[in-house]
A and B are shown apart, each in its own frame.
Chain A
Amino acid sequence: MSAPPVTPALRLRPRSAWHVATVVETRRETPTAARLVLDVPTWPGADAGSHLDLRLTAPDGYQASRSYSIASSTPHGQVVLAVDELPDGEVSPFLVREVRAGDQLELHGPLGAFFVWRPGESARPVQLVAGGSGVVPLYAMAAAHGVAADTTRFQLLYSVRTAADTFFADELAALTGPAFGLDVVYTREAPDGWPDAVGRLTRETLAARTVPAVQRPRVYVCGSTGFVEAVARWLQELGHAADDIHTERFGGI
């Protein structure tokens, strides 16, 4: 009897640890979000889709920790995050408005073995569905897919309020090609001349603009809790198996 093949990548998954990161650059990503580029010399690298926990300590010792998806990272190099400011957030307002180059942050990662994509693991097509800032880990997957010149068919359906609210717009546009298709749904306001209807994502649009269930894609859905749960429910109604749908909720409605 022969043992089933062991995926070598499982053994090489980077171990999580605490790191001190120095902010290299912070810039506005959308009207409510910032892109942070961090220098993390001890970073081991991360699978696309991973996240990290960022911990802030106030002068009186009070600590707050939040999870953020990694947009991109390189071993021993830089980690890029995109943080959306929550109106009543405890940590995000600081990261979006106060953080400056030279500041140091404590982070714990890379984390997450469930919501990750690695090249070469499967020949099945991949459907990504993003709501707002939920695109961050999905952008990481699309970028990793591009870097690896992976030929698996990738599709991203990105639901976003307006063009200005789009994360990694240029980078996503540059990734489009034979192996990566990008579909955008504007829910509040579309650019001039946009041919499609403006409004919340519906089951019908989801059905029309995603890899059909009959092709058995692996699906990754990320966004607010409300968005993810609605999309996941629709996907199952459209025939996708529950096991084929990976979800990551960012909270909120």
Chain B
Amino acid sequence: MRLPPGQTLVQDWPVLSAGPTPQIDTADWELTLQDETGADHRWSWDELLALGVEDVTVDIHCVTHWSRLGMSWRGVSLDKVFENVESEHEYVMAHSYGGYTTNLPLEDLLDGKAWIATEADGGPLHPEHGGPARLLVPHLYFWKSAKWLHGLTMMPDNEPGFWEQYGYHIYGDPWKEERYW
């Protein structure tokens, strides 16, 4: 059984949110990646998809104790997004439409470990689950998979995002039960 400690297996997909659900049309959607040179790398919805969307099947683990195994998603690998980005910085702050943030080490987004997900469970990602696009970082607790993804900012230090400031673990490895401070 592939369940991390303290997790309960569920078959549905609970909706969790810290605020109102943003409603973003793909026609208006934009992803911005800021590095320390001040350069802005931008992708429109079509430009994101043009990077190449792949099928992935992953297990997801929410810090509120539920896990879903073998969930199907479609998304763009972060390796493709970072392909032409040169940065000395080792950390990334993910920004969501609506103001949510979460921090991650860059290496946790690369080498096939993370995606910008556009579809889940065989259909477009619903707004309440973070659509049109969200981060998908299955090896960390799911609060790190920022919904309504809008931007990625390179940082020299591992600055805490929303939940990390309010009591959650700076890294969030479910296998080590890194839930809280």
Contact = CB atoms under 8 A, between A and B. Distances in A.
Taking the complex as a whole, does A directly touch B, i.e. does some CB pair lie under 8 Å apart? yes
Interface of A: 58, 60, 62
B169 interface: no
A150 to B, nearest CB: 40
A58 B65 CA distance: 12
Interface string B32-68: 0000000000000000000000000000000001000
4 contacts: A58-B8, A60-B8, A62-B8, A62-B65
Interface of B: 8, 65
A143 to B, nearest CB: 36
A62 B8 CA distance: 7
Contacts of B8: 58, 60, 62
Nearest to A88: B12
Contacts of B65: 62
B27 to A, nearest CB: 26
A62 B9 CA distance: 11
A15 B8 CA distance: 34
Identify the 4 closest CB pairs spanning chains A and B, nearest first. A62-B8, A60-B8, A62-B65, A58-B8
A23 B65 CA distance: 28
A58 B8 CA distance: 10
A116 to B, nearest CB: 28
A58 B9 CA distance: 13
B63 to A, nearest CB: 13
Nearest to B9: A60
A202 B45 CA distance: 42
A226 to B, nearest CB: 14
Contacts of A60: 8
A65 to B, nearest CB: 12
A62 B65 CA distance: 7
A79 to B, nearest CB: 28
A60 B5 CA distance: 12
A60 B8 CA distance: 8
Contacts of A58: 8
A186 to B, nearest CB: 32
A5 B25 CA distance: 57
Contacts of A62: 8, 65
Nearest to B15: A88
B67 to A, nearest CB: 11
Nearest to A90: B14
B42 to A, nearest CB: 36
A58 B10 CA distance: 13
A153 B71 CA distance: 58
A62 B10 CA distance: 12
A62 B67 CA distance: 12
A62 B66 CA distance: 9
A146 B147 CA distance: 50
B33 to A, nearest CB: 36
B171 to A, nearest CB: 24
Nearest to A63: B65
